[in-house]
Amino acid sequence: MTMTPLQFESRQHARWDELEQALAAIETGRKPKTKAAKEDKAAKRAAAASAIDPAHFAALYRAACEDLALARSRAYPVHLTTRLEDLTARAHQLIYRRSDYGLARLKRLALIDFPQAVRAHWRYLLVAGVVFTLPLFLIGIATYADPGFVLSMHDADTARQYDHMYGPGSEPLGRERGADSDWMMFGHYIMNNIGIAFRCFAGGVFGGLGSLFFLAYNGAAAGSVAGYLTARGHGEAFYSFVVTHGAFELTAIVISGAAGLRLGHALLAPGRRTRLEALKLAASEAAVLVYGTIALLVIAAALEAFWSSARWVGPAVKYGVGAACWALVIGYLTAQGRPARHAAPSSAPTSTPMSIPMSTTRTGHAG
Amino acid sequence: MSIRALILLIASIVLGTMHRLGGALFLILLFGVEWFYPVLFELMPGSATPGKRALGLKVVMDSGLPITPAASLVRNLLRAADFLPFLYAFGLVAMLLRPDFKRIGDLAAGTLVVHAGSVRLHGAMPEAAPRAPARALSTEEQAAIVAWAGRATRLTAARHDELAQLAAPLTRSASRPADTAHATEQLLGIAHWIVGRR
């Protein structure tokens, strides 16, 4: 005589109830709804959390998984399997939740993972750099030779505006600007530049074409402005303005373009993986690059708004600081995080077992 | 998306009173709302933006695990790719081509938008006297009969009876060959017998 669903349920339901109560205790401990409820629950939660032994919780979870497998293979009633599915899914989420967030992770990201990831992607970086700088120089030289060429990249109003911004005869950039205006520009740069970098990345999902396009387009746009202003004789005002934050901004745009190219390459040449798996792997690795890009662009925007625009600083000082920043960025990307202190690549899954807010325990022994 | 528009509208009114600093804060907020609003909410407990939450949805990894920061960042940055060439056209095409209804960002990040709560379609079985089936039933047949019985509360009586007719070989009795109510009663009895009431 095989076990009937009712016998199965009556034999196991105590364990399921226990698991359900433990889940409820941990989950309410995680997100108390209101302040009153928070205080009210604090005592209960403390009691509940201390009452739950992590190893026991893991044993309950494994038992529920076993029961679910049995219930499915024996075609037990749907209400049994749905309850077990619900319980195991909730427990699974709690047990395998990543918990290595916070400052330590950020520090590791900044000091090790990001520069290492940049070096690991040097081929993409090279391509992205060439695709960005080649139009920059070509269009720059073309515009320098024929300033009217700027009109093929920007409309006349924008060109006049650039003239106005960097020209000596007009209101010089920055001198009349108060602190609040600097803040305004900071907001503007954040909005604009990080958006450009993100589009360079996102465009990569179309076989890298989008990244190539955005890189080349932004390179050409920047080159035409540089060429035009140099030809008009505003070179010093312009270059002393862009040299400092450019170290962070141009690097960041090239890096995010490289991250996009990584996506595109994974799609076009997935190797021994399916295209989808290759894309997922590429995206998880490229995400590290994107983190760094965001940080670089925030630095760039702050410099651009508060330092680059400061007219009371002489061009010589700005060139000096600019050179120091370039050296800093290049040095950081080439030397930081060497030698590899952690053998595991940054993309390896770092989810640790048992990270619910109790003492951590490996799910080692069977229950 | 309309929630985000509302946040921006309110912010623009409040910050509009603050002149340029307000303008700056507004731009930073605009940026944050455009790119990071979903990332922020997807990483909070619940793994859902307010809009998703209102519709009973949440975002999880393909493995069913909570979404990681990297995956959330990727799926929301690639929103820019989904949006191309206009109004999420590529995203829509990707979703329509796939059974799991993923947009491009979900494909690359390995994430899945799921219903947060499990839907319970099966209620308690109506009472009936347990009755052994006339012949041995396969597990599939047992499962089908029990599932049918559990759906009694969600089906009209007529439809429930109609479905019971599919199992006529099990319930037909010589004395009352065309009595549908009797067949339903008998099949319910079999269902009770299957789950273990004897």
Q: What is the DSSP track for A85-109?
A: HHHHHHHHHHHT-----SHHHHHHI
Residue B78 pLDDT grade (very low, low, confident, very high; cuts 50, 70, 90): confident
Instruction: Out of A78, A95, A112, pick the residue that ends a domain.
Output: A95
Inter-chain Cβ pairs, chain A and chain B, closer than 8 A: 144
Question: B81 and A187 in contact by Cβ < 8 A?
Answer: no
Question: A93 and B66 in contact by Cβ < 8 A?
Answer: yes
Q: Which pLDDT value is given to residue A361?
A: 40
ipTM given for this complex:
0.70
Domain residues for A161?
103-335
From A204-208, B5-9, B153-157, the region with the lowest mean pLDDT: B5-9
- Tally Cβ neighbours within 10 Å of residue B6: 10
| Same domain membership, residue A232 and residue A323 | yes
Check pLDDT > 70 for residue A306.
yes
Q: Please compute the mean of the pLDDT values over residues B161-189 and round it to a whole number.
A: 75
Q: Residue A367 falls within a domain, yes or no?
A: no
Which residues does A343 contact at the CB level (< 8 Å), separation at least 6?
none
Chain B residue numbers with beta carbons less than 8 Å from the beta carbon of A96 are 65-66
Q: Residue A365 falls within a domain, yes or no?
A: no
Question: A291 and B73 in contact by Cβ < 8 A?
Answer: yes
What is the chain B residue with the closest CA to A208? B81
| Same domain membership, residue A226 and residue A124 | yes
Check pLDDT > 70 for residue B102.
yes
Residue A351 pLDDT grade (very low, low, confident, very high; cuts 50, 70, 90): very low
Question: A187 and B146 in contact by Cβ < 8 A?
Answer: no
pLDDT tens track for A134-158:
988 888 888 888 877 777 777 777 7
- At A269, which amino acid appears? A
SS3 B59: strand
Q: How far apart are CA A334 and CA A251, in angstroms?
A: 13
Check pLDDT > 70 for residue A269.
yes
Q: Which pLDDT value is given to residue A354?
A: 42
Question: A287 and B19 in contact by Cβ < 8 A?
Answer: no
Total structural domains in chain A?
Answer: 2
| Same domain membership, residue A193 and residue A45 | no
Q: Which pLDDT value is given to residue A154?
A: 74
Check pLDDT > 70 for residue B188.
yes
Using a pLDDT cut of 70, give the percent of chain A over it.
77
Q: Are A254 and A215 in contact (CB under 8 A)?
A: yes
pLDDT tens track for A150-184:
777 777 777 777 777 666 654 445 444 555 666 66
Q: Which pLDDT value is given to residue A184?
A: 67
Q: Which pLDDT value is given to residue A254?
A: 92
Residue B60 φ then ψ, to 5°: -130, 165
Q: Which pLDDT value is given to residue A175?
A: 42
Distance from CA of B151 to the nearest CA of A (A): 10
Pick the closest to residue A291 from A106, A44, A120, A23 (CA basis). Answer: A106
Packing angle between helix A315-335 and helix A235-268, nearest 10 degrees? 20
Q: Residue A182 falls within a domain, yes or no?
A: yes
Residue A261 pLDDT grade (very low, low, confident, very high; cuts 50, 70, 90): very high
Q: Are A272 and A248 in contact (CB under 8 A)?
A: no
Q: Residue A85 falls within a domain, yes or no?
A: yes
Which residues does A231 contact at the CB level (< 8 Å), separation at least 6?
A143, A144, A145, A147
Q: Please compute the mean of the pLDDT values over residues B16-39 and round it to a whole number.
A: 74
Q: Which pLDDT value is given to residue A40?
A: 55
Question: B121 and A185 in contact by Cβ < 8 A?
Answer: no
Check pLDDT > 60 for residue A41.
no
| Same domain membership, residue A256 and residue A298 | yes
Check pLDDT > 50 for residue B27.
yes
Q: Which pLDDT value is given to residue A174?
A: 45
Q: What is the DSSP letter of A205?
A: G
Q: Residue A341 falls within a domain, yes or no?
A: no
Strands B57-61 and B111-115: antiparallel
Chain A residue numbers with beta carbons less than 8 Å from the beta carbon of B34 are 195
Instruction: Out of A54, A71, A95, pick the residue that ends a domain.
Output: A95
Please state, rounded to an integer, the average pLDDT across all residues of chain A. Answer: 77
| Same domain membership, residue A181 and residue A81 | no
End-to-end CA distance of chain B: 56
Q: Please compute the mean of the pLDDT values over residues A265-271 and round it to a whole number.
A: 90
| Torsional sign, CA B79, B39, A197, A191 | positive
Chain A residue numbers with beta carbons less than 8 Å from the beta carbon of B133 are none
Question: A185 and B26 in contact by Cβ < 8 A?
Answer: no
| Same domain membership, residue A123 and residue A81 | no
| Same domain membership, residue A115 and residue A246 | yes
Q: Which residue has the higher pLDDT, B29 or A260?
A: A260
What is the chain B residue with the closest CA to A210? B81
Check pLDDT > 70 for residue A37.
no
Please state, rounded to an integer, the average pLDDT across all residues of chain B. Answer: 80
> Bridge-partner residues for B114, per DSSP?
B58
| Same domain membership, residue A210 and residue A62 | no
Closest partner CB to B81 (pick from A185, A194, A206): A206
From A122-126, A226-230, A336-340, the region with the lowest mean pLDDT: A336-340
Residue B77 pLDDT grade (very low, low, confident, very high; cuts 50, 70, 90): confident
Q: Please compute the mean of the pLDDT values over residues A249-257 and round it to a whole number.
A: 91
**What Cα–Cα distance (Å) separates residue B9 from each residue in A191, B16, B20?**
17, 10, 17
Q: Which residue has the higher pLDDT, A154 or A76?
A: A76
Check pLDDT > 70 for residue A277.
yes
Distance from CA of A85 to the nearest CA of B (A): 9
| Same domain membership, residue A281 and residue A219 | yes
**What Cα–Cα distance (Å) separates residue A46 from each residue in A20, A67, A182?**
17, 30, 49
Check pLDDT > 60 for residue B147.
yes
